[in-house]
Amino acid sequence: MGKWFEEAGLEEDVVVSTRIRVARNLKDYKFPQMMNIEESEKVTQEVLNAMKSLAHNGNYKFIRISNLEPLDRRIFIEEHLISPGLIQRPDQSSFLLREDENITIMINEEDHLRIQVLLSGLNFEEGWNLCNEIDDFLEDTLNFAFHEEFGYLTSCPTNVGTGLRASAMVHVPSLVITGYINSLVQGLNKIGLAVRGIHGEGTKAIGNLYQISNQATLGEEEEEIIEKLKNVIYQIINKERDVRNNLIGSRKKEIEDKVFRSLGILKYSRLMTSREAMAHLSNVRLGKEMGIINDIDYNKITKLMVQIQPASIQKGIDKELTKGERDARRASLIRELI
Amino acid sequence: MGKWFEEAGLEEDVVVSTRIRVARNLKDYKFPQMMNIEESEKVTQEVLNAMKSLAHNGNYKFIRISNLEPLDRRIFIEEHLISPGLIQRPDQSSFLLREDENITIMINEEDHLRIQVLLSGLNFEEGWNLCNEIDDFLEDTLNFAFHEEFGYLTSCPTNVGTGLRASAMVHVPSLVITGYINSLVQGLNKIGLAVRGIHGEGTKAIGNLYQISNQATLGEEEEEIIEKLKNVIYQIINKERDVRNNLIGSRKKEIEDKVFRSLGILKYSRLMTSREAMAHLSNVRLGKEMGIINDIDYNKITKLMVQIQPASIQKGIDKELTKGERDARRASLIRELI
């Protein structure tokens, strides 16, 4: 089975991935937090029934959280295929995953339905089209909670309206090196965009990766939201590329040293935390972005950034690894793959 | 021409080099600080005449400091072949260097004569024998300043007596990692031994290298001084080896990580200061000492430690390099040689 992060993507020198998700709820049910197990099972069955005839859209695997080992739950989160919120009530939550892993339909997360499309690189058009198609299709069968004035009703008021959240994960090492990132984040917040770390709300930026998304879901059409975000992302892409060009002109040796040191450390270390690995992988990506290193692909770096996360590192090992053992295994995996 | 640091040596897993030097002065001359150029030239000629018949001891090259470019003077110092004191009065000072570079006879340093023997590894016997042989030979011809009660007279009172300073350069990373080095230095000072960095008096320890030497030159026979120092060096060797064994038992992964990271950084960096290079080379040496890295010889590491010093880095370049250019050239040289 392919993975979203194994594909090449557009504008991949800056944009790692694009994500679109809509939140929907069924009219005749309480929100997931209020439901008992029977009710949540009814919602699940309604969604599964509605999905049955969506076969033309690709094959989906249905997975109940309760059927997953805790480790596998965390791996799905590290791969960004499900949200951390989905595993909060394992007995009620489940998801459908399209076999290319670009589409996840989460059932009984914070809302009854969360349709997520995740694509490599910058691709709001395809992301939105896919998401919209599934949404329209499901709406033919399911009775979504919708208010004439407010739009789609959601568990959390911040999602009411379109229920849409669009985001791009950008890698902006040059904006971080030069400090531009701070004023950028302030500016984005002012125009109603959120800037987060790689694991969404409340997480810190690591590896110079920032997830930029719309905050508002009310009062704007989906296409407007996406168009506005897309324009901002292109501004960020251009700014990052400009600053890279300046840096390669003015601080070439220093940047080369930073890039190659990180490569050397990744190739030789015997112990490494995920945070340190992310920092070095970010520098290697910067090397690729600046043409300093050429024999590595962006998606290989993205894949490594996923594979070195704590749960993924534990995968395939029978016993629970200690932190030291994970750090050793991580270093060993990186040496093997890079 | 071979170099002392290209030879393998005894106990080389701890001892980098052994140095013996005696200070001598000619009876009928002022000490060098007090001499004018004519007088210093007379001393030089007396020594050269006396040395003429020493051909059986090997071929010597005669070099006047004034004939050396400033850069080459500093390189001889970095190679430990002459002392920093020898270049203080370039018009008066010179030296004879045996072609194997194990013996330097410095003329008009702080004393009229400084006979130095420098050998790879631990080798006080050969060091003392060579030094003593040259001293005896010169004494047949030259009239050394000698006092019945005090012994050989020298410019600085700390050298009066035997005029002998014996030292060993030890690499004791394990004693540094575990902090044993601090009590060791205190203990050595108490029994009248000096502990210094790699460039002698007043220099700081870098690269976990310590030069241990006698302080006293008065009231003890040469052989006693050397025997006492040798016993202490063996204690240090044994202690360092014990601690290494403990470390490899208790902190294997951590030490391996430290060693390989340094190797990776040395193999990949594009900019490196000499201080940083010394630290990483020390870690690589530790790797060799602990059997973690096997495909590198001790003398290759020692040679690199010399070659990466600031003056040696400038060698062969027409223009004066900036610090940044030296750091780039150093990194490049290391990548090429390691």
Q: Which of A268, A284, A322 to mutate to test the interface with B (most CBs of B within 10 A)?
A: A268
> Averaged over B210-237, what is the pLDDT?
94
Number of domains comprising chain A = 2
Tally Cβ neighbours within 10 Å of residue B301. Answer: 22
Contact of A314 with A71, CB cutoff 8 Å: yes
> Averaged over A60-66, what is the pLDDT?
96
Q: What whole-number distance in Å separates Cα of residue B44 and Cα of residue B50?
A: 10
- Choosing from A182, A215, A242, the residue where a domain stops is A242
Contact of A218 with A161, CB cutoff 8 Å: yes
**What local confidence, expressed as pLDDT, does residue B1 receive?**
44
Are A35 and A59 in the same domain? yes
Cβ-Cβ contacts under 8 Å, B328 against chain A? 253
pLDDT tens digits, A11-57? 999 999 999 999 999 999 999 999 999 999 999 999 999 998 776 67
| Continuous segment of H or E residues that includes residue B152 | strand B151-152
Q: What is the CATH number of the domain that holds B231?
A: 3.30.590.10
Are B233 and B256 in the same domain? no
Are A228 and A296 in the same domain? no
Chain A residues bordering chain B (beta-carbon distance below 8 Å): 253-254, 256-257, 260-261, 263-271, 324, 328, 331
Report residue B111's pLDDT band, with 50, 70 and 90 as the boundaries: very high
Do A264 and B260 lie within an 8 Å CB cutoff? no
Cβ-Cβ contacts under 8 Å, A269 against chain B? 257, 260-261, 264
Q: What is the ipTM of this complex?
A: 0.87
Do A263 and B263 lie within an 8 Å CB cutoff? no
> Averaged over B291-297, what is the pLDDT?
94
Are A184 and A277 in the same domain? no
Q: Rounded to a whole number, what is the distance in angstroms from the first to the last CA of chain B?
A: 22
Are B158 and B271 in the same domain? no
- Choosing from B208, B242, B276, the residue where a domain stops is B242
Cβ-Cβ contacts under 8 Å, A270 against chain B? 253, 256-257, 260-261
Are B177 and B43 in the same domain? yes
User: Which residue on chain A is closest to B325 by alpha carbon?
Assistant: A253
Name the residue among A2, A9, A3 with its Cα closest to residue A298: A9
User: Which residue on chain A is closest to B254 by alpha carbon?
Assistant: A271
User: Which residue on chain B is closest to A255 by alpha carbon?
Assistant: B270
Are B80 and B144 in the same domain? yes
pLDDT tens digits, A222-263? 999 999 999 999 999 999 999 999 999 999 999 999 999 999
Q: What whole-number distance in Å separates Cα of residue B199 and Cα of residue B184?
A: 20
CB burial of A6-28 (b: ≥16 within 10 Å; e: otherwise) equals bbebebbbbbbbbbbbbbbbbee
**What local confidence, expressed as pLDDT, does residue A201 receive?**
59
CB burial of A230-256 (b: ≥16 within 10 Å; e: otherwise) equals bebbeebbebbeebbeebbeeeeeebb
Are B259 and B286 in the same domain? yes
Are A14 and A81 in the same domain? yes
Q: What is the mean pLDDT of chain A?
A: 93
Cβ-Cβ contacts under 8 Å, A265 against chain B? 261, 264-265, 268
- Choosing from A191, A216, A242, the residue where a domain stops is A242
Q: Which of A248, A251, A254, A270 to mutate to test the interface with B (most CBs of B within 10 A)?
A: A270
Q: What whole-number distance in Å separates Cα of residue A59 and Cα of residue A103?
A: 10
Are B270 and B126 in the same domain? no
Are A106 and A62 in the same domain? yes
Are A228 and A272 in the same domain? no
Determine the 3-state secondary structure of B162 from DSSP. Answer: coil
| Continuous segment of H or E residues that includes residue B265 | helix B252-268
**What local confidence, expressed as pLDDT, does residue A203 receive?**
62
Residue A71, C-beta contacts closer than 8 angstroms, at least 6 positions apart: A311, A314, A315
Count contacts between A and B (CB, < 8 Å): 52
Q: What is the DSSP string of B197-263?
A: BTTBTTPPP-TTEEEEEE---SSS-HHHHHHHHHHHHHHHHHHHHHHHHHHHHHSHHHHHHHHHHHH
Candidate from A253, A270, A328 with C-beta closest to B328: A253
Identify the domain containing residue A270 by its residue range.
251-337
Cβ-Cβ contacts under 8 Å, A324 against chain B? 253
**What local confidence, expressed as pLDDT, does residue A1 receive?**
45
Q: Which of B250, B251, B255, B260 to mutate to test the interface with A (most CBs of A within 10 A)?
A: B260
Q: Is B254 exposed, middle or buried (0-12, 13-18, 19+ CB in 10 A)?
A: middle
**What local confidence, expressed as pLDDT, does residue B200 receive?**
60
Cβ-Cβ contacts under 8 Å, B265 against chain A? 261, 264-265, 268
